[in-house]
Amino acid sequence: MNPELSLRRNLIYFVFSLMVGSALYGQTFPKAINYQAIARDGQGNPLGNTTVSIIMSIVTEEPTLVFQERHDVSTNALGMFDLKIGEGSPMKGSMDDIKWGEHQHFAQIEMSVDGSSFQAIGNSQLLAVPYAFYALEAGNAESSGSSESLWSSSGSNIYYEKGNVGIGVSNPNEKLSVKGIVNTIGPNGKENISLTRLSDNNNLGALTLHDDKGDKKAQIYVNQDKKGSLFLNNASGINSVYMTSLDSETGFVKTIGPNGKDNVRLTTLVNYPNNGYVGVYDKNGDNKAGIYVNAAGQGVVYADVKNFVMQHPALHNTEIVYASMEGPEAGAYVRGTSDLVNGEATIHLPEHFHYVASNQRITVQITPLSADSKGIAVIVKSNTSFSVKELLGGTGNYSFDWEVKAVRQGYENYEVIRPTSFKESTNVTKKEE
């Protein structure tokens, strides 16, 4: 097969590097941009010692063609060639007429190995060089007096070791400083990572991660209130995790279901930024359960129903679920069985009950276990003990069941009706790119 025909049938791979700098002759035009590239065939092999034709076009973002020229150049043994944009055979426009400061500009490259059949093989945004031209036109730059490239090559690689590189930045203070958006591209041509900014504030940074289709899946950014934020999207593109800082300068995390409604929030109690709050929500986004520390520093658990769950001892894959009894108090109880001797008895309560139960609002219930009982009265009660006597001066000797209920210590002022301020903080500012 004819090698030239084979090259035309295969996609021509073109690896290029736009040189940071420009060739300025004296302090007058014409101007030129140093350009170096490696031409490869469809198998990725360098086209060594070959004459290739290049059509170089400069377009704006619309796109509008503002400049076009042709170069016929020879590659070296490694397939590398050099040219200067602005010194080719003119096809349209002039470098002097390009308004570098008014638009974003892109270099579009077409290549041919037979001088007539051109294929588009590259598109790159022009950043550093046009800014240098724009500064020169404004009288703010000095002529370099040299057209020599600052870059070195080794095989198919190029490198620069003498200082820092700036793209859109005239005085870079790091090895690479870029003014604008930086993207990394995967082998499939889709974006992997973007170093970018919020769309409505160019000075607020953002790091965006993309999937293999180029869809945005995660972003870390600084929001409009100058607070760090993070969000993660699920496979459908719906925001499933969101993290930021509250206006009270505390953290806020929430997970979101496929329907876009909140599942769980990790936040703080309203007006108490140091008191934690966990809220759990249903499919409608309504709060159904939670844990928080109240204004008094007490841990609170709430839900529509609170359950005790245990594995069924006889049935496989079955549970026993008891619902907790509810009431208007934070209560505690203890119970047992004792004996009446000559119509009297004193029962000493367990030590742990002394620490748990308040000495206020104690209730003692007695159930005689004899049909001959004349009834039993409680004559003394506290959170440590209680005493009973048989009614009507009775002197019975029999057993009785007893139960003592009391309010828990520290919860004597338990509120049944509460102000709505006992809710989670949600005052956040969310702004994605």
CATH T-level topology, domain 331-407: Immunoglobulin-like (2.60.40)
On whether the pTM is more than 0.75, the answer is: no
Query: What is the pLDDT at residue 12?
Result: 40
Contact 150, 21 (CB under 8 A): yes
| Neighbouring residues of 149: CB distance < 8 A, sequence distance ≥ 6 | 19, 21, 34, 36, 82
Ranges 28-42, 57-71, 134-148, most confident: 57-71
- Indicate if the pLDDT at residue 139 is higher than 80: no
Beta strand extents in 75-200 (DSSP E only): 80-85, 89-92, 105-112, 119-126, 152-154, 157-159, 165-167, 176-178, 182-185, 191-198
For residue 389, the SS3 value is strand
- Indicate if the pLDDT at residue 276 is higher than 80: yes
CA distance 376 to 394: 9
CA distance 218 to 234: 9
Q: What is the pLDDT of residues 7-33, one digit of tens each?
A: 433 334 344 444 433 333 333 334 678
Question: The domain 181-303: what is its CATH number?
Answer: 3.90.930.1
Q: 423 pLDDT band (50/70/90 cuts)? A: low
